[in-house]
């Protein structure tokens, strides 16, 4: 039988293979390593996207042998990977390159051990002195580990070998701490060695924004204030804080989602065409767009942002607790689990086009989308039609049901001139017939390839904090009557009033 080839995939180059290297994971027994990093690395190896000359060196507090750590990672793969696709022979060969060191991140000893162990691994696995240090720890250790690596002479390798460092989020807690952390990193690593992760950039649909905008000629001429009325970005989650109450209490929706993930989406929609696809050219344009975001006046924060916190309710048929009842959360907490933000750009392309952004937990369902609302037709010709004229909307669905939909008016068949609103639909799943790779697979591979396009640059992170700074300050000092929305709803009534007072409506999702 001949295998059927999906014509949409025919001729697509699957991409380059990474160079030999060792990835040193700090926080090697943590949730992120087990849920995301290890399964992603295994998948890359299974697809031959990383070479045989590759190794993982885990570092964490717990005492364990290499053998025990391998067993632990095998369990993680069963729990969080795609067990059906795990091939025992492939795992055994991959696991042969997994090593472990126990130690406290605050001591100097583990770093000396990392250094000597890396030498041995280089010989054994032929990894050529190339290293990635992955900081999958609590954020308070980020700066400290970077320093210790430098003290141990691990930050600047000799000869042709390279060293890169991946930093997880949150990158800072506010503008000041982000600047301080950036300065700490810059003292020991060069900017081109630093990879600040934002897993939204690893999502296939987010990367598609560049292709959609700049590989097609029909949208770009419309992509400005002349044709676009406003942009809505919704990031709705059905889940709550999932046992991370203690972290979330100090974060809130603005820090946890808006300042990083949602702003990445904003910049990809708002940016001008980059001069090339080189990492710095793409990142430069994203930064240039964010630089023109109109600063929010501290005394007018209420006009630009509103917040919410969920109380108990029903989500997807399940009764759930309110935020204040979650473990690790203050019973009088004033942390927001929902935020709406309006931003405007002081630039030619987006003059007076508001971007409405909303992000929240325990909403009715999980959906992340970008909706571009076009202006109405300049002259209403179909005044006698029974359906009111609606503007065109282009919806880019980031997750789930990834795809793109364009809504337009069509004549209802029959004698009369009646209009109905219909959709032109592209769905990733049915068009390409393949499951998109996990965000972490793409991001880890890019780092091994030395490509930082899908990582946040220093100035981008700081700009994000700068934009939200007045809101964080205002919300810190003003109390709010929480909870103000029921779990399973679409957020507090003020979120609706916020856009309605400007004559607009949130899309029904």
Phi/psi of residue 294, each to 5°? -65, 125
Q: How far apart are CA 268 and CA 355, in angstroms?
A: 13
Closest CA to 289 of 348, 235, 342: 348
CB of 231 to ligand BG6, least distance (A): 19
Contacts with ligand BG6 by CB under 6 A: the residue count is 3
Residue 48: alpha-carbon gap to chain centroid = 25
Nearer to ligand BG6, 50 or 206 (CB): 206
Site string for ligand BG6, 157-186 (x = CB under 6 A): ------------x-----------------
| Integer Cα distance of 200 and 189 in angstroms | 24
Residue 169 Cβ vs ligand BG6, minimum distance, rounded to whole Å: 6
Q: Which of 261, 373, 379, 505 is catalytic?
A: 261
Q: Which is nearer to ligand BG6, 236 or 289 (CB)?
A: 236
- Give the three-class secondary structure for 425: strand
137: alpha, beta or left? (left if phi > 0; alpha if psi -120 to 50):
beta
Q: How far is the CB of 134 from ligand BG6 (least distance, A)?
A: 16
CA gap 495, 509 in Å, rounded: 15
Nearer to ligand BG6, 95 or 201 (CB): 201
Rule CB under 6 A: say whether 438 interacts with ligand BG6.
Answer: no
In this structure, the number of other CB atoms found within 10 A of the CB of residue 119 comes to 11
The interface mask with ligand BG6, positions 190-229, x = CB under 6 A, is ----------------------------------------
d(C-alpha 134, C-alpha 444), whole Å: 10
> 26-65 burial, b if ≥16 CB within 10 A, otherwise e?
bbbbbebbbebbbbbbbbbbbeebbbebbbbbbbbeeebe
Instruction: In whole angstroms, give the CA distance from residue 461 to residue 88.
Output: 41
Provide φ and ψ at 81, rounded to 5°. -90, -170
Return the number of the residue (229 or 256) whose C-beta is nearest ligand BG6. 256
Q: Is 261 assigned a catalytic role?
A: yes
Binding to ligand BG6 in span 230-289, by CB under 6 A: 237, 256
Output phi, psi for 376, to 5 deg: -70, 165
Query: Which distant-in-sequence residues (6+ apart) come within 8 Å of 19 by Cβ?
Result: 51, 128, 130, 448, 449
Nearer to ligand BG6, 311 or 360 (CB): 360
Half-sphere exposure of residue 461, counting CA atoms within 13 Å on the CB side? 27
Which secondary-structure segment (H or E) carries 406? strand 403-412
Nearest distance from residue 118's CB to ligand BG6, in Å?
30
Q: Which is nearer to ligand BG6, 119 or 365 (CB)?
A: 365
Closest CB to ligand BG6 among residues 237, 284 = 237
Tell me how far apart the alpha carbons of residues 15 and 188 are, in angstroms, rounded to a whole number. Answer: 32
Q: CB nearest ligand BG6: which residue? A: 256
Residue placing its CB nearer to ligand BG6 in the complex, 103 or 245: 245
Mask of contacts with ligand BG6, 102-141, x by CB under 6 A?
----------------------------------------
Active site residues: 261
Binding footprint of ligand BG6 on the chain (CB under 6 A)? 169, 237, 256
């Amino acid at each position: 039988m001949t295998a059927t080839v999906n014509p949409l995939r025919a001729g697509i180059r699957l991409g380059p293979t990474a160079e030999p290297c060792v990835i040193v994971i700090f926080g090697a027994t943590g949730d992120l390593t087990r849920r995301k990093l290890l399964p992603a690395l295994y998948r890359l190896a299974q697809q031959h996207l990383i070479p045989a000359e590759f190794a993982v060196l885990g570092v964490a507090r717990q005492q364990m042998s290499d053998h025990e750590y391998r067993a632990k990672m095998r369990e993680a793969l069963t729990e969080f990977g795609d067990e059906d696709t795990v091939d025992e022979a492939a795992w055994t060969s991959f696991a042969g390159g997994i090593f472990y060191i126990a130690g406290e991140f605050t001591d100097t000893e583990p770093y000396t051990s990392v250094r000597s162990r890396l030498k041995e691994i280089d010989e054994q696995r032929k990894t050529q002195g190339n290293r990635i240090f992955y900081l999958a720890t609590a954020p308070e250790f980020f700066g400290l580990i970077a320093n210790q690596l430098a003290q141990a002479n691990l930050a600047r390798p000799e000869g042709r070998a390279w060293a890169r460092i991946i930093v997880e989020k949150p990158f800072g807690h506010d503008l000041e701490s982000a600047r301080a952390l950036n300065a700490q990193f810059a003292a020991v690593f060069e900017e081109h060695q630093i990879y600040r992760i934002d897993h939204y950039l690893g999502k296939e649909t987010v990367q598609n924004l560049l292709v959609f905008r700049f590989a097609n000629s029909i949208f770009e001429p419309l992509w400005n204030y002349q044709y676009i009325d406003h942009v809505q970005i919704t990031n709705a989650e059905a889940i709550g804080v999932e046992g991370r109450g203690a972290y979330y209490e100090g974060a809130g929706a603005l820090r946890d989602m808006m300042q990083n993930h949602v702003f990445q989406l904003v910049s990809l929609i708002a940016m001008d065409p980059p001069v090339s696809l080189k990492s710095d050219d793409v990142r430069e344009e994203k930064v240039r767009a964010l630089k023109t975001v109109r600063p929010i006046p501290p005394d007018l924060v209420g006009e630009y942002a509103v917040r919410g916190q969920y109380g108990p309710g029903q989500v997807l048929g399940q009764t759930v607790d309110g935020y204040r009842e979650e473990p690790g959360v203050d019973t009088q907490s004033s942390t927001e689990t929902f935020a709406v933000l309006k931003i405007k750009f002081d630039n030619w392309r987006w003059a007076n086009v508001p971007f409405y952004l909303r992000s929240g937990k325990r909403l009715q369902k999980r959906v992340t989308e970008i909706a571009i609302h076009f202006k109405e037709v300049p002259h209403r010709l179909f005044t006698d039609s029974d359906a009111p004229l609606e503007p065109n909307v282009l919806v880019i669905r980031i997750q789930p049901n990834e795809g793109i939909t364009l809504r337009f008016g069509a004549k209802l068949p029959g004698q009369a001139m009646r209009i109905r609103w219909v959709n032109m639909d592209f769905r990733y799943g049915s068009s390409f017939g393949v499951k998109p790779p996990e965000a972490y697979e793409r991001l880890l591979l890019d780092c091994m390839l030395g490509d930082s396009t899908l990582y946040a640059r220093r100035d981008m992170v700081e700009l994000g904090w700068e934009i939200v700074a007045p809101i964080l300050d205002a919300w810190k000092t003003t109390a709010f009557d929480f909870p103000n929305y029921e779990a399973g709803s679409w957020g507090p009534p003020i979120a609706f009033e916020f856009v309605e007072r400007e004559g607009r409506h949130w899309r029904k999702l």
